[in-house]
Amino acid sequence: MLVKTYGSAVYGVDALTITVEVNIGKGARFYLVGLPDNAVKESHQRISAALKNNGYRIPGKEITINMAPADIKKEGSSYDLTIAIGILAASEQIKNPEEVSRYLIMGELALDGILRPIKGALPIAIRAKKEGFKGVILPKANSKEASVVEGLEVYGAENIMEVIQFFDGNTQALQREQNSLDNVLKTQNLSFGVDFVDVKGQENVKRALEIAAAGGHNVIMIGPPGSGKSMLAKRIPTILPPLSLEEALETTKIYSVSGMSNTETGLINKRPFRSPHHTVSDVALVGGGSNPKPGEISLAHNGILFLDELPEFKRAVLEVLRQPLEDRVVTISRAKISVDYPANFMLVAAMNPSPSGDFYDPNNAGGDAEHVVRRYLAKISGPLMDRIDLHIEVQPVPYEKLSDRREGETSEEIRKRVVNARKLQENRYAEYKGIHSNAQLTPKLTKKYCKIDEAGEMLMKNAMEKLGLSARSYNRIFKVARTIADLDNKPNIEVNHIAEAIQYRSLDRNGWL
């Protein structure tokens, strides 16, 4: 008897349906074909033990299992349940074998029949809906995540017996998982445990970070140890706008294929904040491996990638950031496969101004020499620095500021202004796909939406000549100025907006790079 069951393979952040054809005939052999890897081949032993321990068996006949399409490598143990149900249906140990083809079935089997969670439940559920399946049957731990896909029946099973009973006609064996996207997004956790109200002084830095958050701009903070760079960076998520539905789904898909999804709500409903150590490899940062997996920059999608002590990162690691910062996508190519991972993140970097940690002072004989400071800063290439919109000098906070009992602005107050600025940008760029903030503007759109008057042109000309700014820096000043104007609710960029944007090219202004 021939029976077809359906599973799914995840490539990048998308899924592809896999047809598992099970044929039982005369003989006593077991064949598993269709380019399975070792983990899939080992499913025979797991399935055999799981069925025996639950009162079922693998028939002593010739069993041929084909996993199609045969030219795509099948990896992992998540096909156990798909194959097991196919064997039971083909050997007529399930009362309603025709029902199994209406569902996409995935799950890893323990030897006692317990179902262990899989990776990529959300992309799998999206593919199942797209291809017209009635529903999906997954391990209980994955059901919340898959159920955010509306119009699809999602059932979470604790063990294989529940799945067998379900296909035997016992509709109470599995309970349909109910989850509402609206409820998940409404319950976004905007409590972070930290707040900008904790930061004493540093008003100029907080202003710059507000601009960065409002326009999605990359930012680097330069200051001596103890000046508060890390403290400030960790508070940036508290002023970012809440995730939209589209952003939440995109982010969840990445975490899903990485096996890091939110099992409580099923959806990542908080902007990511990733802070890899400076010893991170380029593969860990960008993603990769024989079976490509997302790296830190993709896990930071729609959130923040914080690189502390930037010059301590290997130069080769930093250089791989250049293309994702520009294209907002990472392409990982292997001999047989090429996958794309989204990488629309906000880069926040921090560094000391010199090896000793202090700003260069020609009058300080005990400080680092100028050539030492230049060599230290040169660890970061000019092209990478060009892709960072705001350079901020962070000075140590004086005692008078630290001891001041008055409280500054809260993150909630700053976030309101940021959200308003982002709404202006969303409306302005509504007709352009993939453009949601000023930082994402192409050179063509920058020219269209960042127009300045004659006085602004004169100021920009003087800045370009005196600071020796590159063409990329020139465009980034316009984008930052556009964001400052949005925060001021001004339809046009004014001279003061240009002037403020220029002052955030600190390293250019000092001529260090």
Looking at the structure, tell me whether residues 402 and 284 fall in a common domain.
yes
Distances (CA, A) of 334 to 200, 289, 339: 49, 9, 9
Looking at the structure, tell me whether residues 107 and 208 fall in a common domain.
no
- Please, which residues have CB within 8 angstroms of residue 229's CB and are 6 or more apart in sequence? 221, 223, 308, 350, 394
Q: Which of 430, 456, 486 is at the close of a domain?
A: 430
Looking at the structure, tell me whether residues 418 and 347 fall in a common domain.
yes
505, part of any domain? no
Strand partners, 155: 137, 176
The amino acid that residue 492 corresponds to is N
373, part of any domain? yes
Q: Which of 430, 459, 490 is at the close of a domain?
A: 430
Give pLDDT tens digits along the chain (513 positions): 899 999 999 988 999 999 999 999 888 789 999 989 998 999 999 999 999 999 999 998 999 999 999 888 898 899 999 999 999 999 999 988 899 999 999 999 999 999 999 999 999 999 999 999 999 999 999 999 999 898 899 999 999 999 999 999 998 999 999 876 666 666 555 677 889 998 888 899 999 999 999 999 999 999 998 888 999 999 999 999 998 888 989 999 999 999 888 767 778 888 999 999 999 998 899 888 777 889 999 999 999 999 999 999 998 889 889 889 988 999 888 766 788 899 999 999 999 988 887 776 565 656 778 788 888 888 888 888 888 999 999 988 887 887 777 788 899 999 999 999 999 999 999 999 889 999 999 889 999 999 899 999 999 888 888 877 777 788 889 999 999 999 999 999 999 999 999 999 877 654 544
CA atoms of 319 and 391, how far apart (whole Å): 18
Looking at the structure, tell me whether residues 166 and 237 fall in a common domain.
no
Looking at the structure, tell me whether residues 149 and 280 fall in a common domain.
no
Measured torsion, CA atoms of residues 125, 127, 130, 131, in degrees rounded to the nearest 10:
-110
190, part of any domain? no
CA atoms of 423 and 486, how far apart (whole Å): 10
Looking at the structure, tell me whether residues 43 and 138 fall in a common domain.
yes
Q: What's the Rg (C-alpha) of the chain?
A: 28
**CATH code for position 420:** 3.40.50.300
206, part of any domain? yes
Ramachandran region, residue 484 (left: φ > 0; alpha: ψ -120 to 50; beta: rest):
alpha
Looking at the structure, tell me whether residues 164 and 259 fall in a common domain.
no
Measured torsion, CA atoms of residues 212, 217, 220, 221, in degrees rounded to the nearest 10:
0
**CATH code for position 9:** 3.30.230.10
Looking at the structure, tell me whether residues 240 and 162 fall in a common domain.
no
**Cα 312 to the chain's mean position, in Å?**
24
488, part of any domain? no
Looking at the structure, tell me whether residues 219 and 287 fall in a common domain.
yes
508, part of any domain? no
CA angle 444, 429, 326 (to 5 degrees): 50
489, part of any domain? no
Rounded to 5 degrees, what are φ and ψ at 476?
Answer: -70, -30
Cβ atoms within 10 Å of 210's Cβ, excluding its own: 22
Looking at the structure, tell me whether residues 164 and 34 fall in a common domain.
yes
The amino acid that residue 164 corresponds to is I
CA atoms of 150 and 146, how far apart (whole Å): 9
451, part of any domain? no
Expressed as residue numbers, the domain containing 256 is 196-430
Residue spans of beta strands (DSSP E) within 191-310: 219-222, 273-274, 287-288, 293-294, 304-307
Name the nearest CA neighbour of 82 among 26, 18, 15: 18
Looking at the structure, tell me whether residues 243 and 372 fall in a common domain.
yes
Q: Which of 179, 206, 237 is at the close of a domain?
A: 179
Looking at the structure, tell me whether residues 318 and 404 fall in a common domain.
yes
Total number of domains constituting the chain = 2
CA atoms of 5 and 97, how far apart (whole Å): 10
Name the nearest CA neighbour of 498 among 449, 451, 448: 451
Strand partners, 304: 273, 346
